[in-house]
Structure 1
Amino acid sequence: MTATATTVDEPDQLESQAAPASRAAGLARRLVPAAAATLSGVLLYVSFPPRTVSWLALPAFAVFAWVLRGRTWKASLGLGYLFGLGFLLPLLVWTGVEVGSGPWLALVAVEAVYIALVGAGITLVSRLPGWPLWAAAVWIAGEAARARAPFGGFPWGKIAFGQADGVFLPLAAVGGTPALGFGVVLCGFGLYEIVRLVVEGRRTRVVRRGAAVAALLSIVVPVAGALAARTLVSDKAEDGTATVAVIQGNVPRAGLEFNAQRRAVLDYHARETERLAAEVKAGKVAQPDFVLWPENSSDIDPFANADARMVIDTAAKAIGAPVSVGGVVERDGKLYNEQILWDPVEGAVDTYDKRQVQPFGEYLPMRSLLGAINKNWTTMVRQDFSRGTKAGVFTMDGAKVGLATCYEAAFDWAVRSTVTDGAQMISVPSNNATFDRSEMTYQQLAMSRVRAVEHSRTVTVPVTSGVSAVIMPDGKITHKTGMFVADSLVQKVPLRSSQTPATKLGILPEMALVLVAVGGLGWAVATTVRGRRDTGR
């Protein structure tokens, strides 16, 4: 009887032991993909500046592909969101330096939604033949949407902007940031597919040649295309050269408080310009043909304030060259973030008003709604900046200098329009002082390097507090300053007028990739619906 009792109880005992093991295995099945999605997002962040390991984007997307393939689209929404958080939370932490963690977390929460939707889309197209092509196009379609909405879009974090030091950079000259980003993502997904097929082949002893060829091409084509595109990258002067001076005057201290010391900032930039003039007079430095000051170098309106006008005029006369001054100007009751071309003889002769103004930084969307919720929120931006309507190209000592002010460098159209309007070089005047020593400065500098290659133009980056730089048309930095120091850079740079395919094609490569994404998603949905109908589900 004892033996019989033991026999009856054994299944119950084994079942009770198996239940916790089964629950643990189920938990692991859920946690491992979630952890992998988050960590691959972090890996993508690590591939961005100021680090110079852009190649890490490839394994980041390879792991992301492993996480998504075989999932339901609903599960992929969550996994895509985790990937977005892993990537964007550390990438955009600088947005909280200015106003606290609330806006930073809110921005990331919204932007990660786009990546969640992309994750679901990638899962859908991953069942198609040659899926890396469709999946990479879906990623670029997500970037295109993120760059346009809400509030005019937020392109920060485009894959292209992490590739200033990478082998794929010349693709920017072929089709702009969409082509560059597409090549990187396609290669990452192709890398995963090759590994998957190798593992599958070892297990089944069967090699699917079509899939293997498609995976191999996903890696070979972007790399070969980038190498071939190097012929489009040239530092050769086509319209002569210009000796340019970039002024970094520095600010009294970092943080929001520096805006209360607007006169000090103006004086600092005038003083550095006059110091440079003394070096020129002593024969230590070449005489510049023109001088570039940063954004907000004169937050005091020189058209309304005689003292500010006199300070700028004195500095321009000392250096004996036209100066592009970043000012805050009120005109007809409207506020503008303006670049002013200041001639040493005639004074102000031309202006450019920033066209892509920053939401929550230069204007406050939904002001009445936010004020109704919390009146203190409206004090972040007391008066909205108005938008300019025309591309900025200053003629400075015969050279055509295109202007893309700070935030505008992230937008494809804003930079391209200066080149199509005749710019022979580009300047990106910026003010990063409110972001202290965060990675923001280096991320923005990398954008300017990509723009240099995209349009085959010299790009100068005058910044109030650094890092200011001179960038050649091949994307290489030849001179740069430190952070929070007063300094100036003087260099002879090539002027160019030819247009790259990216400049000529404009938005067309991005539109083509969006259409590829839509076509792939349509095919995937139709295939899924047909399959369910055939099985009667």
Structure 2
Amino acid sequence: MLDRDETHSPAVPPPPVAAGRPLPLKVAAPMAVVAGLALLLAFPPYGMWPLAPVGVALLAAAAHRRRLRAGAGVGFLTGVALFAPLLSWTNLHTGYLPWVLLSLLQAGYLALLGAATAWVSPLADRGRWAWPALTGLLWVGQEALRDRTPFGGFPWGRLAFSQDDSPLLRLAALGGAPLVTFAVALTGGLLVTAAWHAWTTLRAARQTPADTAPADTDGRDPAPGGNALTGAAPARRWAPVIAPAVAAVAVVAAGLLVPLAAAGSGAPVTVAIVQGNVPRLGLDFNAQRQAVLNNHVDATIELAAQVAAGTQRQPDLVVWPENSSDIDPLRNPTAGARISQAADTIRAPILVGAVLLGPGPGQVRNAGILWQPDTGADMSQLYTKRHPVPFAEYVPLRDIARMVSDKVDLVRNDFVPGSTPGVVRAGPIVLGDVICFEVAYDEVVRDTVTGGAQLLVVQTNNATFDVAEARQQLAMVRLRAVEHGRPALMASTVGVSGFVAPDGRVSDATGFNTREVVVRELRLHDGRTLATRLGWWPELALAGLAVAALVGAGVLRRRQRVVPG
């Protein structure tokens, strides 16, 4: 898949860098792996967000000027180095095959990105200042494709989700996750522009006698009176290194100029998150369904006792996580009675994460349902998860999938998707309910806000994963809070749970695999950010420009002879 190094006789000097040669393969292949590892370390739980642009820059340099299949090869190496460890939590309880297949599938999209990077190399060579923009556009285009295909896509590992502690997170308020991804990749493009020019300048200097001015790295003759390292002309030579490096810092710093509200501007409400925990982690957590339900009921009753004693505030709303009742409380009187006991005792509505049977045989629904004190289940305020996870909550092409692995039969009943956004009205509070991985999908969250949600709620169950997955998910909640200017919270069965302010700050985060209850006063918010108003237009515009760049590179390739790389 990767191309071989071109070798040259010692008696014949290598052609100038400006002739259009890529980096040697012995450099590019390790560089691609390091790119993936740098990207990995940018994500939680590591949180080294400045490494994301570095990873982007390394991949851009490795794929630059290569043949398409070689560009795909280095992109695939980056993808494997990133996604295999990033998604390692998927193999904790289901075996290695699903993890390997998912990691390779996601790496395939970075292979496409590597090929696209190689394809647009003539545009980058023609105008060095186009390289950063091309890098940003191609990353947005790749993510737009990966977020939607196949079977609705899998947006985990978007560049935007690595920036939860970065100034660039604030850009989400202007253009959502696509704009944050573009800014990260643009910064990486500026870094590679600076580094590439520095490398070619130094290489040209080493290949040229000190008293001879080398050709400019873009193929132009230098100004008279200097060489690559001394004199006035060299100062001009190093300007293309310094300028993009400074611009990269400026892009990151510019995020600090985006104003964000630290709190909502509406009415104050008190919300409680109940993290009931499970008897044991793993796929068999729901074999202890009654114990999980009892954990959440008992923790809520304990909270009510604290309220009665005056040691805790009376909540206006209690949020239970996804799968807090895997026994259908609408059909099982015992389960329904236990939830009613909790709601009646706490004297507040409870948003319950429940698995509901039906509508057809062999079908179930992953739902958030509002349970009122005294009256029980409020069927008018029920949200059914709109984006079930393929091969986890339902199995597409089951007969074919079974030929690959009989593990698909662990999913006995297919979850049926809902059709309406998760707008749930709990008295004075309008919730935007999304369930588990749905927080990664732009339109699922935005639909709740445009539907009137004042508080974003993410109900999730991390009992089959680990703390790394939970922290990666919390980073997505932080981005959504900034994107839509809403207070938000994540309620998990086992952690991490917590509250997020509209500026992305996390409060009262819980531990993992613990039983905890956290209560906080929030201020609701009704306004709309620019990102909310623009919706999918920023992504459409950026992805459209990426397609235009690919077309433009094709036209340019026809007009000029490209030296194979």
User: Fold match, TM over 0.5?
Assistant: yes
Q: How is 1:67-146 mapped onto 2 (pairs within 5 angstroms)?
A: 67-128=62-123, 129=127, 130-146=130-146
CA distance 1:64–1:376, shift in 2 (3 Å): closer
Q: Which moved more, 1:298-307 or 1:48-57?
A: 48-57
Check conservation: 1:290, 1:321, Cα contact below 8 A: yes
How do 1:176-195 residues align onto structure 2 when only pairs under 5 Å count? 176-195=176-195
Aligned to 2:45: 50
After superposition, the Cα gap between the structure-2 partners of 1:374 and 1:227, relative to the gap in structure 1 and judged at 3 Å, is closer
Q: 1:360 aligns with which of 387, 391, 403?
A: 391
Which stretch of the first structure deviates more once superposed, 69-78 or 400-409? 69-78
Partner of 1:14: none
Gaps (5+ residues) in structure 1?
Answer: 1-16, 19-27
Aligned partner of 1:416 among 440, 446, 457: 446
Partner residue, 1:320: 347
Q: CA deviation at 1:141?
A: 0.3
Match of 1:386 in 2: 416
CA–CA separation in structure 2 for the residues paired with 1:336 and 1:514: 34
Which of 247, 259, 268 aligns to 1:241? It is: 268
Unaligned runs of 5+ in 2: 1-8, 11-22, 206-213, 215-227, 229-233
Instruction: Note closer, same or farther for the CA distance 1:397–1:430 as it changes in structure 2 (3 Å cut).
Output: same
TM norm structure 2:
0.86
Q: Is the 8 A contact 1:194 1:216 kept in 2?
A: yes
CA distance in 2, matches of 1:133, 1:375: 42
Residue 433 of structure 2 aligns with an amino acid whose one-letter code is: L
What SS does the aligned partner of 1:357 have? coil
Question: Are the aligned partners of 2:467 and 2:512 in contact in 1 as well (CA < 8 Å)?
Answer: no
Deviations 1:271-311 (A, max 9, x none): 00001111111101110001000000000001100000000
> Paired residues, what number?
507
Matched, 1:32 2:27: yes
Cα distance in 2, alignment partners of residues 179 and 419 from structure 1? 19
The one-letter code matched in structure 1 to 2:415 is: F
Separation in structure 1 between the aligned mates of residue 64 and residue 330 of structure 2, nearest angstrom: 60
* 1:495 to 2:519 alignment: no
Alignment of 1:262-277 (within 5 A): 262-277=289-304
Q: Distance in 1 between matches of 2:181 and 2:560?
A: 33
Instruction: Tell whether the 8 Å contact from 2:357 to 2:364 is kept in structure 1 after alignment.
Output: yes
Give per-residue Cα distances to partners, 1:66-89, cap 9 Å, x unaligned: 212232222111001001111111
Supply the AA of the counterpart residue of 1:406: C
* Counterpart code for 1:495: L
Give 1:347's aligned residue: 376
Q: 1:479 aligns with which of 491, 496, 508?
A: 508
Q: Does 1:516 align with 2:560?
A: no
Counterpart of 2:168 in 1: which secondary structure? coil
Q: Tell me the distance in 1 between the aligned counterparts of 2:428 and 2:75.
A: 51
Root-mean-square deviation (CA, aligned residues, Å) is 2.2
Whether the 8 Å contact between 2:467 and 2:496 is mirrored in structure 1 is no
Question: Does the residue aligned with 1:434 lie in a helix, a strand or coil?
Answer: coil
Corresponding residue of 1:160: 160
Q: Do 1:121 and 1:135's aligned partners in 2 also have CA atoms closer than 8 Å?
A: no
Alignment match of 2:473 (pick from 444, 464, 467): 444
1:397 deviates by 2.8
- Equivalent-residue separation in structure 2 for 1:176 and 1:374 (angstroms): 37
Q: For structure 1, which segment, 411-420 or 208-217, has the greater mean C-alpha deviation from structure 2 after superposition?
A: 208-217
Taking the aligned partners of 2:388 and 2:431, their CA distance within structure 1 comes to: 20
Query: Which SS does the other structure have where 2:507 is aligned?
Result: strand
Q: CA deviation at 1:218?
A: 5.2
Answering whether residue 141 of structure 2 is matched by residue 149 of structure 1, we say: no
Distance 2:195 2:108 in 1: 29
Give me the whole-angstrom Cα distance separating, in 2, the residues matched to 1:177 and 1:281.
Answer: 43
Amino acid at match of 2:558: V
Question: Which one has a larger percent helix, Structure 1 or Structure 2?
Answer: 1
Taking the aligned partners of 1:487 and 1:131, their CA distance within structure 2 comes to 49
Percent of aligned positions with the same letter in both sequences? 41
Taking the aligned partners of 2:178 and 2:247, their CA distance within structure 1 comes to: 16
Q: Is the 8 A contact 1:126 1:135 kept in 2?
A: no
